[in-house]
Amino acid sequence: MPLPWPLPALLAWGASWLLFTDLRPRHGLVWALLAACALGTLASLWGTRWWRRVFIALGFPLSLAASGAAALPPWAWLIPLALLLLVYPLNAWRDAPLFPTPLRALDGLAAAAPLAAGARVLDAGCGLGHGLRALRRAYPQAQWHGTEWSWPLALLCRLRCPWARVRRGDIWAEPWGGYQLVYLFQRPESMERAAAKAGAEMAAGGWLVSLGFPVPGAEPAALLPPTAGHPVWVYRLPLAAQAPMAKRK
């Protein structure tokens, strides 16, 4: 169960301060600052919204500067910024900045989009593996794959989901042709691009599944009601054009 805000931030800042205080006498300012900022950046994954993640990650260096406990040279501010960009690359933020999939969000998907045992499913932009866990729950006999641009997130995802094949890569450059189902939890602006990629690369009869956001102008094969805050849009390839509203009534 998620901790109430701002408890994650307070715990992260406190842990960073403890680590900094412990390491500085033995390893010096630079290494202590690097370790404490790294801990804060990893703890920012705890945040449920982008502004909370930035708030958690930058809380320690800002509080350190405000306290005057250490005289920070100007270049020291590059450390937290570099760590933020390492975990949250700019191109990843243009897609979706780590929106976790609730575990039960895909319950009922197997009935709407049936797959044979051993089918290959892809979580495009798998983050920390929340979507992979939901896919495993929906398709226990499938082969699970994930692609994630941020290599720290990809590494953590491999540790959290050892039963899945997780690769570090660009979801728009990686081919989708070998998968029977591709799952995304992206932005509304990404869905038209995802539909074009799926239509060009995936075989007829495959499935494109989106949590939260529809494909503009496409008729879904199924629309699952939200079980954890977001509906699930299910599309069968090739995509069918959405019928005009007058004909659908």
pLDDT at residue 243 tops 70: no
Q: Environment class of residue 33 by beta-carbon count within 10 Å: exposed (0-12), middle (13-18) or buried (19+)?
A: buried
Q: What is the Cα–Cα distance from 134 to 153, expressed in whole angstroms?
A: 17
Lowest mean pLDDT among 29-33, 54-58, 88-92, 222-226: 88-92
Domain ranges in the chain are 7-87, 109-248
173-202 pLDDT, tens digit per residue, is: 999 999 999 999 988 888 999 999 999 999
Examine residue 8 and say whether the peptide bond preceding it is cis (omega within 30 degrees of 0).
no
Q: Give the mean model confidence (pLDDT) for residues 138-164.
A: 91
Residue 236: per-residue pLDDT = 97
State which fold the 109-248 domain adopts: Rossmann fold (3.40.50)
pLDDT at residue 246 tops 50: no
Q: What is the Cα–Cα distance from 130 to 136, expressed in whole angstroms?
A: 10
Nearest by Cα to 5 from 59, 48, 60? 48
CB 145 within 8 A of CB 59: no
Q: What is the Cα–Cα distance from 193 to 173, expressed in whole angstroms?
A: 12
For residue 130 the two structure tokens come to 């929340």
Q: Convert the chain into a string of H (helix), E (strand) and C (coil).
A: CCCCCCHHHHHHHHHHHHHHHHHHHHHHHHHHHHHHHHHHHHHHHHCCCHHHHHHHHHHHHHHHHHHCCCCCCHHHHHHHHHHHHHHCCHHHHHHCCCCCCCCCCCCCHHHHCCCCCCCEEEEECCCCCHHHHHHHHHCCCCEEEEEECCHHHHHHHHHHCCCCEEEECCCCCCCCCCCCEEEECCCHHHHHHHHHHHHHHCCCCCEEEEECCCCCCEECCEEECCCCCCCEEEEECCCEECCCHHHHC
Which letter, b or e, does each residue of 187-223 get, where b requires 16 or more Cβ atoms within 10 Å of its Cβ?
Answer: eeebbeebbebbbebbeeebbbbbbbbbbeebebbbe
Of residues 204 and 5, the one with the higher pLDDT is: 204
44-63 pLDDT, tens digit per residue, is: 777 666 667 777 778 888 88
The structure tokens 């307070």 sit at 10
* Most confident option among 5-19, 45-59, 93-107: 5-19
Of residues 208 and 85, the one with the higher pLDDT is: 208
For residue 122 the two structure tokens come to 């892809």
Residue 145: per-residue pLDDT = 98
Q: What is the Cα–Cα distance from 165 to 122, expressed in whole angstroms?
A: 9
Task: pLDDT band for 13, please (50, 70, 90 cuts).
Answer: confident
62-87 pLDDT, tens digit per residue, is: 888 778 777 767 777 677 777 666 66
Averaged pLDDT score across all residues of the chain: 84
